[in-house]
């Protein structure tokens, strides 16, 4: 059962107000000084140009798309680095997951039994600095992903022929990527048929970069890109500036409205929300949770510029299946039985729709929460079952360290989860890690943590995107608990060769299998806040399932 939706009356009021405001359009007198630099009104009743500020609680790990794979980073560099394919922009909801050609002329042709994908570059493409884009730059970008390495490097190294040899240093290039700069052809040969490769070449991490781009993390400058915006001044961890790329002209793709977008990081999410409420910042970053202390105020004072949008995301706790006590199935299952998903939702201001499955509602293969084996996620936990499983496991009294992130509500989730573990009889202590380095900390191969918190937001609309997190070859930067189950791996490798809708039931069964095995204690899927200042055209702004805030859609009134 999903969390209750907002009252229909409030929604109606919001729509009415938004329509009325949109009608006022460019004549609004509330435009900021930044807004005043904008040019004439756009077609949707907003202005072109001006500066838009985003208030975020967490910085991306890096401005370099060759390293970073965070939601915060994707939001920013997805408008800087346009790949061969791209997810459709300007569309809210699951329709925003549709893939369309980006730098490529058309969708790739598939041959060789699904093992070869051929792309053709559009003619006359240039980077923001004026350099022409070559087909071989795509290979260089992928090689750079493997070398730096990209947080999702396994997406390419494991599936493209020659990728793993290149990663191990056995070859100087990726043999499976064959390009022709003269014709603009890019041929990608795979180890085996792998349907999500189309989605992967729609990720900014695979966008071409000039071949003179250093093979190192460019956190303070980002890379030269080919998208709607280019990097302006960056103060890593604090401020990221995007400036409109006036050279961008790819037919069919939006160019963006604002001249400049400034992404300011302040870990105080409440202060960020207050700034947007008071129109001192324009966008509350969708990746942050609106604190419950201000939620009511936002709902009443800014009903026309706030909306909770369902996204394809999953929140979970993971277990190290290699180490005591969670190498014991009963111990893991006891935790799942004892976890109160309702409590975790409340700690997130009620934005979590409770579920024990990893594949979220909007993705093929999603299972109904009613099939959760240990208790109904919308109801109380089954403590009787939990305690009996715990007793059976013989793991009572085992000391464990629980890893979690600092920012709200993640620290509150950690407090709660640690409390549950102690209630079950473990001797659990918390380890709170700074949000900026949390995932790199728990993913460090030297650490091998026992248990902790994790989340995943859709990269592309394929259940593989979620289920690969627990594949044995996913690496420690994704599979934090080092889950290694031959049946799971074999099923995953079989399913990823098929179009997802043709094997939806099998994806669902794999998720259910992992829940029964308690490889993860998933507790739900989150709604993200779309919350703007009154200087922005709320209707034109899009909260995308792919990019979170679609920066090309942001427009001043």
Partner 1 sequence: MALDPSLRSRGRDAESSGADGAGAGVVLGEQGGDAWSEGRHAPAIGPWQLAFRRLRRNKVALAFLSLFVLLVVVCLLAPVYSKHIAHIGPNTNNVTGTINLNGKSTNVVSTDGVPIGPTFTSHYFFGADTNGRDLAVRLLYGGRTSLLIGGVATIIIIFFGTLIGLLCGYFRGIVDALLRPLMELIWSFPPVILGVAVGTALALGGIGPIKGNSVMIPALIIGVIYIPYLGKPVRGEVLRLREQDFVDAARLQGLGPWRIMISEILPNAASTIIVFVPMMLAITILLEAYLSFLGAGVQAPNASWGTLISDGIQYIQTVPTYSLIPGAMLVLTVLSINVVGDGVRDALDPRAQVRLKT
The dihedral region occupied by 445, where left means phi > 0, alpha psi between -120 and 50, and beta the remainder, is: alpha
Considering only 38, 59, 196, 409, the residue that binds partner 1 (CB under 8 A) is: 409
Q: Binding segment for partner 1 among 189-197, 432-440, 476-484, 524-532 (CB under 8 A)?
A: 432-440
Under the binding rule (CB under 8 A), the answer on residue 249 touching partner 1 is no
- Going along 320-446, which residue ranges are E strands? 352-353, 399-405, 427-433
Q: Binding segment for partner 1 among 35-43, 229-237, 326-334, 408-416 (CB under 8 A)?
A: 408-416
For partner 1, which is the closer residue by CB, 68 or 348? 348
Under the binding rule (CB under 8 A), the answer on residue 295 touching partner 1 is yes
Under the binding rule (CB under 8 A), the answer on residue 137 touching partner 1 is no
Question: At its nearest, how many Å lie between partner 1 and the CB of residue 205?
Answer: 29
Question: At its nearest, how many Å lie between partner 1 and the CB of residue 350?
Answer: 5
Q: Binding segment for partner 1 among 119-127, 138-146, 430-438, 473-481 (CB under 8 A)?
A: 430-438
For partner 1, which is the closer residue by CB, 270 or 509? 270
Under the binding rule (CB under 8 A), the answer on residue 406 touching partner 1 is yes
Written as one string, the DSSP assignment of 454-521 is EEEE-SSS-HHHHHGGGSTTS-TTT-TT----HHHHHHHHHHTTS-GGGGHHHHHHHHHHHHHTTSEE
In three state form, how does the secondary structure of 184-248 look? CEEEEEECCCCCCHHHHCCCHHHCCCCCCCCCCCCCCCCCCCCCCEEEEEEECCCEEEEEECCCC
Under the binding rule (CB under 8 A), the answer on residue 433 touching partner 1 is yes
Q: Binding segment for partner 1 among 225-233, 294-302, 461-469, 547-555 (CB under 8 A)?
A: 294-302
Cβ atoms of 556 and 338 within 8 Å: the answer is no
Q: Binding segment for partner 1 among 156-164, 405-413, 490-498, 534-542 (CB under 8 A)?
A: 405-413
Under the binding rule (CB under 8 A), the answer on residue 348 touching partner 1 is yes
Considering only 165, 181, 330, 430, the residue that binds partner 1 (CB under 8 A) is: 430
Under the binding rule (CB under 8 A), the answer on residue 431 touching partner 1 is yes
For partner 1, which is the closer residue by CB, 292 or 498? 292
Q: Which residue has 């003179």 as its token pair?
A: 212
Under the binding rule (CB under 8 A), the answer on residue 296 touching partner 1 is yes
Under the binding rule (CB under 8 A), the answer on residue 198 touching partner 1 is no
Question: At its nearest, how many Å lie between partner 1 and the CB of residue 479?
Answer: 22
Written as one string, the DSSP assignment of 136-176 is HHHHHHHHHHHHTT-TTTHHHHTTBTTHHHHHHTS-SS-TT
Q: Binding segment for partner 1 among 160-168, 368-376, 411-419, 522-530 (CB under 8 A)?
A: 411-419
Question: At its nearest, how many Å lie between partner 1 and the CB of residue 297?
Answer: 8
Give the separation between CA 314 and CA 488, rounded to whole angstroms. Answer: 19
Q: Which two tokens stand for residue 273?
A: 């929300």
Considering only 343, 359, 363, 503, the residue that binds partner 1 (CB under 8 A) is: 343
DSSP class of residue 279? Answer: T
Residues 6+ apart with CB under 8 A from 361: 2, 310, 312, 353, 355, 525
Q: Which two tokens stand for residue 178?
A: 């064959």
Considering only 109, 368, 429, 502, the residue that binds partner 1 (CB under 8 A) is: 429
The site map against partner 1 for 354-393 (x = CB under 8 A) is --------------------------x-------------
Written as one string, the DSSP assignment of 300-339 is HHSGGGEEEEE-SEEEEEEE-TTSTTTTSHHHHHHHHHH-
Cβ atoms of 417 and 404 within 8 Å: the answer is yes
Give the separation between CA 175 and CA 187, rounded to whole angstroms. Answer: 10
Considering only 14, 414, 471, 522, the residue that binds partner 1 (CB under 8 A) is: 414
Q: Which two tokens stand for residue 413?
A: 């989730």
Nearest to 21 by CA among 554, 537, 530: 537
Under the binding rule (CB under 8 A), the answer on residue 259 touching partner 1 is no
For partner 1, which is the closer residue by CB, 106 or 437? 437
Question: At its nearest, how many Å lie between partner 1 and the CB of residue 166?
Answer: 34
Nearest to 10 by CA among 2, 22, 18: 18
CA–CA distance from 351 to each of 17, 81, 95, 271, 314 (Å)?
23, 31, 21, 19, 12
Written as one string, the DSSP assignment of 92-145 is -BGGGG-EEESSBSSSPEEEGGGTEEEEEBPTT-B-TTSPBP-THHHHHHHHHH
Under the binding rule (CB under 8 A), the answer on residue 293 touching partner 1 is yes
Q: Binding segment for partner 1 among 112-120, 130-138, 280-288, 345-353 (CB under 8 A)?
A: 345-353
Q: Binding segment for partner 1 among 336-344, 498-506, 514-522, 548-556 (CB under 8 A)?
A: 336-344
Considering only 22, 107, 432, 509, the residue that binds partner 1 (CB under 8 A) is: 432
Under the binding rule (CB under 8 A), the answer on residue 7 touching partner 1 is no
For partner 1, which is the closer residue by CB, 177 or 420? 420
The verdict on whether omega for the bond into residue 188 sits within 30 degrees of 0, i.e. cis, is no
| Cα-based torsion angle of the residue sequence 536, 552, 142, 464 in order, rounded to the nearest 10 degrees | 80
The C-alpha angle 339, 340, 344, rounded to 5 degrees, equals: 105
Considering only 114, 350, 362, 373, the residue that binds partner 1 (CB under 8 A) is: 350
Under the binding rule (CB under 8 A), the answer on residue 349 touching partner 1 is yes
Under the binding rule (CB under 8 A), the answer on residue 300 touching partner 1 is no
Q: Which two tokens stand for residue 150?
A: 């990209």
Contacting positions for partner 1 (CB under 8 A): 4, 270, 291-296, 340, 342-350, 380, 406, 408-409, 411-412, 414-416, 418-420, 422, 429-434
């Amino acid at each position: 059962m999903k969390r209750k939706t907002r009252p229909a009356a409030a929604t109606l009021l919001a729509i009415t107000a938004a329509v009325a405001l949109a009608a006022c359009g460019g004549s609004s007198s509330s435009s900021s000084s930044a807004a005043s630099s904008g040019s004439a009104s756009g077609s949707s009743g907003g202005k072109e140009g001006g500066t838009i500020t985003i208030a975020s609680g967490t910085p991306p790990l890096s401005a370099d798309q060759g390293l970073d794979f965070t939601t915060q980073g994707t939001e920013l560099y997805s408008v800087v680095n346009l790949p061969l394919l791209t997810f459709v922009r300007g569309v809210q909801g699951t329709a925003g997951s549709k893939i369309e050609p980006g730098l490529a002329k058309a969708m790739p042709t598939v041959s060789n039994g699904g093992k070869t994908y051929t792309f053709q570059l559009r003619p006359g493409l240039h980077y923001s600095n004026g350099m022409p884009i070559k087909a071989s730059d795509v290979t260089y970008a992928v090689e750079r992903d493997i070398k730096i390495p990209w947080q999702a490097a396994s997406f390419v190294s494991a599936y493209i022929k020659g990728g793993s040899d290149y990663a191990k240093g056995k070859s100087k290039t990726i043999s499976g990527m064959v390009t022709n700069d003269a014709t603009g052809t890019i041929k990608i040969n795979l180890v085996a048929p792998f349907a999500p490769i189309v989605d992967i070449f729609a990720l900014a991490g695979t966008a071409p970069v000039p071949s003179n781009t250093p093979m190192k993390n460019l956190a303070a400058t980002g890379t030269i890109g080919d998208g709607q915006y280019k990097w302006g001044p960056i103060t890593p961890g604090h401020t990221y500036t995007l400036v409109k790329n006036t050279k961008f002209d790819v037919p069919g793709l939006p160019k963006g409205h604002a001249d400049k977008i400034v992404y300011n990081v302040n870990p105080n999410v409440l202060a960020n929300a207050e700034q947007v409420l008071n129109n001192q910042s324009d966008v509350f970053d969708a990746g942050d949770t609106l604190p419950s202390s201000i939620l009511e105020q936002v709902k009443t004072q800014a009903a026309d510029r706030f909306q909770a949008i369902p996204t394809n995301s999953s929140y979970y706790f993971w277990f190290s299946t290699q180490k005591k006590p969670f190498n014991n199935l009963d111990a893991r299952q006891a935790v799942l039985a004892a976890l109160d998903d309702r409590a975790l939702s409340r700690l997130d201001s009620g934005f979590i729709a409770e579920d024990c499955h990893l594949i979220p509602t909007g993705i093929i293969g999603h299972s109904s929460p009613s099939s959760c084996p240990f208790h109904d996620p919308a109801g109380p936990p089954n403590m009787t079952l939990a305690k009996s499983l715990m007793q059976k496991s013989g793991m009572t009294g085992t000391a464990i360290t629980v890893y979690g992130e600092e920012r709200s509500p993640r620290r509150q989730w950690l407090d709660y989860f640690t409390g549950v573990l102690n209630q079950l009889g473990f001797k659990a202590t918390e380890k709170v890690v700074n949000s900026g380095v949390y995932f790199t900390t728990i993913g460090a191969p030297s650490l091998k943590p026992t248990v902790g918190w994790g989340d995943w937001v859709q990269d592309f609309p394929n259940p593989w995107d979620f289920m690969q997190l627990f594949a044995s070859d996913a690496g420690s930067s994704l599979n934090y608990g080092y889950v290694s189950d031959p049946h799971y791996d074999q099923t995953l490798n079989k399913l990823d060769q098929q179009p997802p809708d043709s094997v939806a039931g099998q994806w669902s069964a794999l998720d259910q299998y992992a829940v029964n095995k308690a490889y993860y204690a998933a507790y739900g899927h989150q709604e993200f806040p779309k919350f703007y200042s009154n200087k922005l055209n709320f209707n034109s702004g899009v909260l995308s399932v792919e990019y979170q805030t679609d920066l090309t859609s942001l427009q001043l009134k």
